[in-house]
């Protein structure tokens, strides 16, 4: 992964580049072969870093070396421990009960370890985690995990704890994609994407910027706005029944809507293409299948369903998805807060239903994104 290389570049050179770049941007866009700068935005745990990982898997050869995979093991252990520790803690807090005294002892063993993950997964540890993960009390607790903060990959890793603890285990792409780690600051990843034959083939360089999503990080996002051709905005549809890690009073999906409003109407992004990834469709589906409904958190869902086209929106998942999309579309139709020369110009927002951890899904969606960016750049050439 390439990083923002600011050690080596003297600051006066950076300043000069800044001045130059606004002029350059105009020329650059004419040359659609120049690097495409894409910015990933969205609230915390919406899936931005997972998209970056997919770009590495899809577009960088030998994207994760043997060494890098081994380095991921400690993050995976963290995910396992964070999940089981929080579940056991919540069983106690929610006044649920473990199946047996033996399981109770396992829970005590985990709690005694504290929140810090172990260096390796001992046989005793794995035995305890497996016992607890199949415990009925823990299962009830897991069903109520929207009431506390549990990482979305808890099930993925707890299901696989025995396999992962085997000597010589090498993390798979699936493990890497599911492994949750908070992002801080801004990072850049560069990769080349094959161009469609109709445009002469060859490759085009992409520079994708990943940012921390929690509230306080957002003041920094501006640093990466310059020269951006497209914003990929991620919103976690599966988060409709969860609250924010940084604010337990705020609904995650509602936060996503608020944030989208801020990004869509941001004057520095007024000329930037916006593509929305309505992410975590798998989590959304599981929750609906478990009998939960978005109506509990967004009462206006009932009005939406009442007026919805029954032929097209035949099941709960389709209806819920369309409802979320309609909320986003409404935001794009709101009048801009500030008057600017752009008032009256029609902007298109593109929507995709995504599962960021599914490489096949991201491959398809990214091809569409690439086409949108190419078409947009070509039409801009005509406009300028």
Interface with another protein (CB under 8 A): 1, 3-7, 65-68, 70-71, 73, 75, 78, 149, 167-169, 181-187, 212, 214-217, 219-220, 223, 244-248
Strands 230-236 and 273-279: parallel
Cβ contacts of 139 within 8 Å, gap of 6 or more: none
CB atoms within 10 A of CB 175: 22
Among residues 180, 207, 252, 319, which one is catalytic?
180
Of residues 45, 78, 82, 241, which has the active-site annotation?
45
CB 293 within 8 A of CB 323: no
> In the complex with another protein, which residue's Cβ is closer, 70 or 289?
70
Residue with structure tokens 């006066």?
12
Closest to another protein by CB, 1 vs 96, is 1
Nearer to another protein, 75 or 99 (CB): 75
Catalytic residue list contains 56 = no
- Structure tokens of 92? 């106690």
Does 202 carry a binding-site annotation? no
Q: Which residues contact 107 (CB under 8 A, 6 or more apart)?
A: 88, 91, 92, 98, 132
Q: How far is the CB of 68 from another protein (least distance, A)?
A: 7
Nearer to another protein, 174 or 185 (CB): 185
Residues 6+ apart with CB under 8 A from 51: 40, 208, 210, 232, 234, 277, 356, 362
| Shortest distance in whole angstroms from residue 217 CB to another protein | 7
How far, CA to CA in Å, does 22 sit from each of 11, 16, 186, 268? 18, 11, 21, 12
Residue 183, annotated as binding a ligand: yes
Burial 36-56 (b: 16+ CB within 10 A, else e): bbbbbbbbbbbbbbbbbbbbb
128: annotated binding-site residue?
no
Closest CA to 225 of 266, 275, 184: 266
45 carries an active-site annotation? yes
Helices vs. strands in the chain: H and E counts, helices first: 15, 6
Q: Which is nearer to another protein, 115 or 202 (CB)?
A: 115
* Residue 45 assigned to a binding site: yes
Question: Is 358 in the active site?
Answer: no
**Nearest distance from residue 6's CB to another protein, in Å?**
4
Which of the following is catalytic: 50, 90, 320, 354?
Answer: 50
158 is in an annotated binding site: no
Active site residue: 210, 241, 242, 255, which one?
Answer: 210
Residues in CB range of 91: below 8 A, 6 or more apart? 97, 98, 107, 137, 138, 141
Instruction: Name the active-site residue from 149, 172, 214, 332.
Output: 214
User: Among 225, 189, 203, which residue's Cα sits nearest to residue 54?
Assistant: 189
Q: Which is nearer to another protein, 178 or 281 (CB)?
A: 178
Q: How far apart are CA 37 and CA 223, in angstroms?
A: 13
Cα 307 to chain centroid, rounded: 31
Answer yes or no: 210 catalytic: yes
**Is residue 181 part of an annotated ligand binding site?**
yes
213 is in an annotated binding site: yes
Give least dist CB 265 to another protein, A.
22
Is 354 annotated as contributing to ligand binding?
Answer: no
Closest contact distance (angstroms) between CB of 167 and another protein is 6
Instruction: Tell the smallest beta-carbon distance from residue 120 to another protein (Å).
Output: 8
216 vs 341, beta carbon nearer another protein: 216
- Shortest CB 44 distance to another protein, Å: 9
End-to-end CA distance of the chain: 34
356 annotated to bind ligand: yes
**Where is the binding site for Mg(2+), in residues?**
49, 183
**Where is the binding site for GTP, in residues?**
45-50, 152-153, 177-183, 210-214, 279-282, 356
Active site residues: 45, 50, 180, 210, 214
């Amino acid at each position: 992964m390439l990083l923002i290389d600011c050690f080596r570049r003297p600051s006066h050179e950076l300043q000069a580049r800044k001045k130059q770049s606004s002029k350059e941007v105009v020329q650059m866009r004419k040359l659609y072969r120049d690097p495409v700068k894409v910015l990933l935005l969205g609230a915390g745990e919406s899936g931005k870093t997972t998209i970056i990982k997919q770009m590495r898997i899809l577009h960088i050869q030998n994207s994760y070396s043997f060494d890098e995979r081994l380095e991921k093991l400690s993050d995976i252990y963290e995910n396992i421990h964070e999940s089981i520790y929080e579940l056991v803690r919540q069983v106690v807090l929610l006044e649920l009960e473990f199946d047996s005294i033996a399981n109770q002892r396992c829970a005590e063993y985990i709690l005694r370890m504290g929140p810090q993950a172990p260096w390796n997964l001992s046989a005793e540890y794995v035995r305890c985690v497996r016992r607890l993960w199949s415990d009925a009390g823990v299962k009830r607790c897991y069903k109520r995990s929207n009431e506390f903060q549990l990482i979305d990959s808890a099930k993925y890793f707890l299901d696989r704890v025995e396999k992962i603890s085997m000597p010589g285990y090498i993390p798979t792409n699936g493990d890497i994609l599911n492994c949750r780690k908070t992002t801080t600051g801004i990072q850049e990843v560069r990769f080349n994407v094959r161009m469609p034959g109709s445009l002469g083939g060859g490759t085009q360089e992409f520079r994708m910027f990943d940012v921390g999503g929690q509230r306080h990080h957002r003041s920094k996002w501006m640093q990466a706005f310059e020269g951006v051709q497209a914003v990929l905005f991620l919103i976690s549809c599966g988060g409709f029944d969860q609250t924010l890690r940084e604010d337990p009073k705020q609904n995650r999906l509602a936060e996503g809507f608020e944030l989208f409003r801020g990004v869509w109407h941001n004057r520095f992004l007024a000329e930037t293409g916006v593509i929305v990834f309505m992410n975590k469709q798998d989590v959304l589906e599981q929750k609906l299948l478990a009998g939960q409904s978005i109506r509990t958190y967004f009462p206006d869902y009932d009005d939406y369903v009442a007026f919805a086209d029954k032929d097209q929106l035949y099941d709960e998942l389709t209806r819920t998805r369309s409802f979320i999309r309609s909320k986003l579309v409404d935001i794009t139709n709101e009048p801009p807060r500030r008057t600017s020369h752009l008032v009256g110009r029609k902007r298109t927002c593109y929507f995709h239903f995504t599962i960021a951890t599914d490489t096949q899904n991201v491959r398809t969606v990214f091809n569409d994104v690439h086409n949108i960016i190419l078409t947009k750049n070509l039409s801009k050439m005509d406009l300028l």
